[in-house]
Amino acid sequence: MPNRENLSATITLIYNGKAITENQIKILELIAKTKSQNKVAKLLNIPPSSVNIQIKRLEKKLGMDLIDSSASGTMLKEHAQDIVDYHNKMKKRITMEPLIACGFICGEVGKILFEDIIISSFDNILKLYNMDLLDIIGIDDPYWSYRLGDPIPVVYDYMVMVYKKEFNTKNLIGIRYSPHRIMWKILKNHNISFKITKVVKSPFQAIDLLEEGYSLFLNESFTRYVKGDYIIKKPHFYEYTKHTLNFITLNNNEETILKSIKRKKKEIENKGFQVVDSL
């Protein structure tokens, strides 16, 4: 694998199917700072007419005006400023060290361990992983922890039942890439018949669906997000649902994780987690 320090990258934004180049973004960014096309031209060492041509071409491509010109100067319209802000946000994400992404469940621990993380569905995390942009990943599904690397078990978690009136194992919500893989195995081992009638990408979506009468096995650490008159109950096989929330490191950042766990252990425990014994 090449050394990331020797690599550089540019970002091409796609807006309504149309590409905006890094150079066009740079012109918009400088206009926002200088409020003058002439000053932008001087900074880029190009004729003022070239700046104006670039702006006109981009406006035609996107089908919208990007600037307002008046006696007081040239200003970006709101949607043009949004484009610049989004570009800078993405560039920061790519260049920051380390880049950390967590699933929704592991994100509850990740928010304690690290200052800046991405919390998203595993589908999105996998895209970043395949682009070699990630340094540390918190994965909700233990199976995928072992597929992507050598997992570091950080905390223990359990599964509980959440429902509106009656828990129905024939009307369950499944959450993709979650510890539900463990739950389905436990139900089979206990000869409990069950049916997954709805599958969603996040536990937040699952919680919202409870109002429609679905039943849900949910990570106990995530029950803080259950609002309203729902019943939260431990199943009789509660102890069997014990599992770890794992992190993996992709660029020799294991020491970063271990130091953070040691430093934040009390805070982690105050949030109701049990730190893995070996840490």
Please determine whether the domains at 96-155+244-275 and 159-241 fall in the same fold group of CATH.
yes
pTM of this prediction?
0.65
Q: pLDDT averaged over the chain?
A: 89
Residue 8 predicted with pLDDT over 80: no
Degrees to nearest 5, angle at CA 200 with 194 and 203: 95
Q: Structural domain boundaries of the chain?
A: 10-94, 96-155+244-275, 159-241
Q: In this predicted structure, what is the pLDDT of residue 242?
A: 95
The answer to whether 209 and 135 are in contact (CB under 8 A) is: no
Measured CA to CA, the distance from residue 251 to residue 16 in angstroms comes to 35
The answer to whether 173 and 196 are in contact (CB under 8 A) is: yes
For 105, the token pair is 């469940």
Could you read off the pLDDT of 84-93 as tens digits, one per residue?
988 887 776 6
Residue 199 predicted with pLDDT over 70: yes
CATH of 159-241, one of 3.40.50.300, 3.40.50.2300, 3.40.50.410, 3.40.190.10: 3.40.190.10
For 129, the token pair is 């992983």
Residue 240 predicted with pLDDT over 80: yes
Give the whole-number percent of the chain exceeding pLDDT 70: 93
Measured CA to CA, the distance from residue 264 to residue 114 in angstroms comes to 10
* Mean pLDDT value of segment 9-32: 84
Measured CA to CA, the distance from residue 163 to residue 31 in angstroms comes to 54
Residue 16 predicted with pLDDT over 70: yes
Output the CA–CA distances (angstroms, integers) from residue 10 to 23, 91, 127, 199, 265, in the order listed: 10, 8, 18, 37, 39
Q: Which CATH class is domain 10-94?
A: mainly alpha
Q: In this predicted structure, what is the pLDDT of residue 11?
A: 67
Contacts of residue 115, Cβ cutoff 8 Å, sequence gap at least 6: none
Residue 165 predicted with pLDDT over 50: yes
Q: How far from chain centre, in Å, is Cα 233?
A: 29
Q: Is 267 helix (H, G, I), strand (E, B) or coil?
A: helix
The number of beta carbons lying within 10 Å of the beta carbon of residue 266 is: 9
pLDDT class for 252, splitting at 50, 70, 90?
A: confident
Residue 210 predicted with pLDDT over 60: yes
The answer to whether 231 and 173 are in contact (CB under 8 A) is: no
Q: Which of 207, 159, 162, 202 is nearest to 184 (CA)?
A: 159
Q: 96-155+244-275: what fold? A: D-Maltodextrin-Binding Protein; domain 2 (3.40.190)
Q: In this predicted structure, what is the pLDDT of residue 94?
A: 61
The answer to whether 143 and 155 are in contact (CB under 8 A) is: no
Q: Which of 42, 32, 41, 38 is nearest to 88 (CA)?
A: 32
